[in-house]
Structure formats: C-alpha cells, structure tokens
Amino acid sequence: MLMGWIASRTGRWTRMLAGASMMVGGLARGSAPGRVMALLGLLPLMEGAFDVCVLGPLFGLPIQGEAIRRKAGRIGEDSLLPHPPLPLSDRPVLLH
C-alpha cells in the first residue's frame, strides 16, 4: 500500500529530504520560479516533520500519519528516529 509507505518512518524522511532539496535547489537558482519551487518544498518538509499526509483523503484515508499507519498495519513507527521511547523515570529533567 503506497500510502502506508508514505506515512512510514522511511516515507516521512524521504518527504522531508525531498522538500529540503526543493528548497535548497530553488533558492540556489535565485529566480522567481526558484523561489516558487522553494516555497512548494515547504509542503513535503512540513508534512514529514508534523506527521500529516495531505494526499490521505484522496485515497479515502485520514490526514494524520498515525491513523494511516494504523490502517496499513505499520504499528510502532511513530518516531522519526528508530529507537524506543525512554521511560518517564529515565527522561532528563531540567532544573531551575
């Protein structure tokens, strides 16, 4: 399922890297079309970072990445980094 891959950890990183590449390439051109391309690159970058997929409703799926992964059977890929979350007792605490 294509949308399952797009919502997966690998798909999110791919969208973020593609968006960043569009932004860098567009700004490097230094022209009006380049600035438009850089602006359009924000969409996949932000989608991957905030775990949303605007193409989901086109396929009859929700917009939230977590819900898409649940429907695709990809449970446990919520984090962008492949590590288990720290237990609350091990998390660092900022002291004043």
- Taking the domains of the chain in order of start, what are their residue ranges? 2-72
- What residue ranges of the chain have pLDDT lower than 50? none
How high is the pLDDT of residue 69?
Answer: 84
pLDDT at site 86: 58
CB neighbours of 32 closer than 8 A, spacing ≥ 6? none
pLDDT of residue 93: 67
| Burial of 12 (C-beta count, 10 Å sphere; 0-12/13-18/19+) | buried
Residue 79: its pLDDT value, please? Answer: 74
Contacts of 7 (CB under 8 A, 6+ apart): 51, 53, 56, 65, 68, 69, 72, 74
Q: What is the pLDDT of residue 66?
A: 86
